[in-house]
Chain A
Amino acid sequence: MDPLDRAIVNRLQDGFPVSERPYAEVAAELGTNEEELMRRIDALLAGGTLTRFGPMYHAERMGGALTLAAMQVPEHDFERVAVLVNAHPEVAHNYAREHTFNMWFVLATETPREIDRVIDAIERETGYRVYDMPKLEEFFVGLRFPV
């Protein structure tokens, strides 16, 4: 990433205008032009620096559901379970973590009821309990990474 790429990534983590010519607006702020900005975003997406350029939704406010789920999986069985869990399209992220609770994944569904359905399915398929850890209160969602 060169300085312009960095400026673009930082600027676009703060938001994107909702106006007729949003790229032109941001480009002017960053001292570049509309065409170059679009080209750079495209390249950052293609190169894997960015996973997405679009909306970050508030699941519950759309009527959808989101939860964090955890499992305790013996090391020898971890790969098999990971494949089964990741095969569900409702699994948005999945991380192996250092703890006896060693698999942590986010489930996102269109309705709250579907969370239970996916959890039941994963328990059946894997033979291990899935601990549902829904948020009770949110103190902060920033997810901003200065580069």
Chain B
Amino acid sequence: MDLNVADIMPTGQLTVDATDRRVLAAIQGGLPLVARPYAEIATRTGLSEAEVIDRLGRLLESGVIRRLGVVVRHHEVGYGANAMVVWDVPDDEVRALGRCLAGFDFITLCYQRPRRLPQWRYNLYCMIHGRDRDEVLAHLEWMVKRCGLQGLPHSVLFSRRRFKQRGAAYFAGTDNGSS
């Protein structure tokens, strides 16, 4: 069975109402560090604690919020190297190969993106993180073997420098909350 990701995860944006957006905006900058954080969000949004909890539960279930929790600064926790590896894969094989790549625990993101010919031929992207470059390259070699990617054109774009790492701001006036 070959289900499209878009088919099995219908967009939930129609279910996000104005009150939801108020709650989303209120937590965008981070959860309050108090014993009852959702009671504080409730005070800020003029709702009850129970309603905040109910709405956040639904927003998590529908995938509007991918997850609540922490985002680590990966460099600071020992992941010193990251590479964006891009592949030029026949269009009818992208899905199968993308799923294969997505199965490794050292892969943090995996997407199909458009080619921009003639300058850019690649259509399958994945991010590999590792302690250092050698570890990233070892991961890559393993992936190539396991997913049968030998011979497919690819490019390894190690990061040289990070200029900015913050969450994206979806609600004006605050600076946070991203995927």
**Which A residues are within 8 Å of any B CB, using their own CB?**
1, 9, 12-16, 18-24, 34, 38, 41-42, 44-45, 48-64, 66, 68, 70, 72, 82, 86, 89-99, 101-102, 104-106, 108, 110, 131, 133-145, 147
- The contact of A93 among B24, B68, B102, B162, by CB within 8 Å, is B162
10 contacts between A and B (CB under 8 A): A19-B53, A54-B68, A56-B69, A58-B63, A66-B178, A108-B178, A134-B113, A138-B111, A140-B107, A142-B105
- The contact of A141 among B29, B56, B66, B165, by CB within 8 Å, is B66
Q: Are A59 and B108 touching (Cβ within 8 A)? A: no
Q: Are A144 and B35 touching (Cβ within 8 A)? A: no
CB distance from A116 to the nearest CB of B (A): 15
Interface residue total, chain B, C-beta cutoff 8 A:
86
Q: Are B178 and A57 touching (Cβ within 8 A)? A: yes
**Residues of B contacting A92 in the complex (Cβ-Cβ under 8 angstroms):** 164, 166-169, 178
CB of B140 within 8 A of chain A? no
**Residues of B contacting A19 in the complex (Cβ-Cβ under 8 angstroms):** 38, 53
**Residues of A contacting B171 in the complex (Cβ-Cβ under 8 angstroms):** 110
> Who on chain B is nearest to A22 by CB?
B37
Bound: A62/B64 CA distance, A:
6
Bound: A98/B71 CA distance, A:
25
| Count of inter-chain pairs, beta carbons less than 8 A | 269
**Residues of A contacting B129 in the complex (Cβ-Cβ under 8 angstroms):** 145
Contacts A51-B71, A60-B13 supplied; 14 other A-B pairs, CB < 8 Å: A20-B36, A23-B35, A23-B37, A50-B70, A54-B31, A56-B179, A60-B11, A62-B24, A66-B168, A92-B167, A96-B159, A98-B157, A137-B5, A137-B6
Most chain A CB atoms below 10 A, which of B158, B163, B172:
B163
Bound: A100/B114 CA distance, A:
18
- The contact of B114 among A42, A93, A134, by CB within 8 Å, is A134
> Who on chain B is nearest to A63 by CB?
B13
**Residues of A contacting B98 in the complex (Cβ-Cβ under 8 angstroms):** 137, 139-140
CB distance from B146 to the nearest CB of A (A): 15
CB distance from A67 to the nearest CB of B (A): 9
Bound: A147/B62 CA distance, A:
29
Bound: A138/B66 CA distance, A:
13
> Who on chain B is nearest to A103 by CB?
B163
**Residues of B contacting A97 in the complex (Cβ-Cβ under 8 angstroms):** 84, 157-160
Residues B14-65 near A (CB distance < 8 A): 16, 21, 24, 27-31, 33-39, 49, 53, 56-57, 60, 62-65
**Residues of A contacting B57 in the complex (Cβ-Cβ under 8 angstroms):** 18
CB distance from B58 to the nearest CB of A (A): 10
**Residues of B contacting A99 in the complex (Cβ-Cβ under 8 angstroms):** 155, 157
**Residues of A contacting B108 in the complex (Cβ-Cβ under 8 angstroms):** 140-145
Bound: A6/B70 CA distance, A:
12
Contact flag A52-B71 (CB < 8 Å), given A58-B66, A139-B5? yes
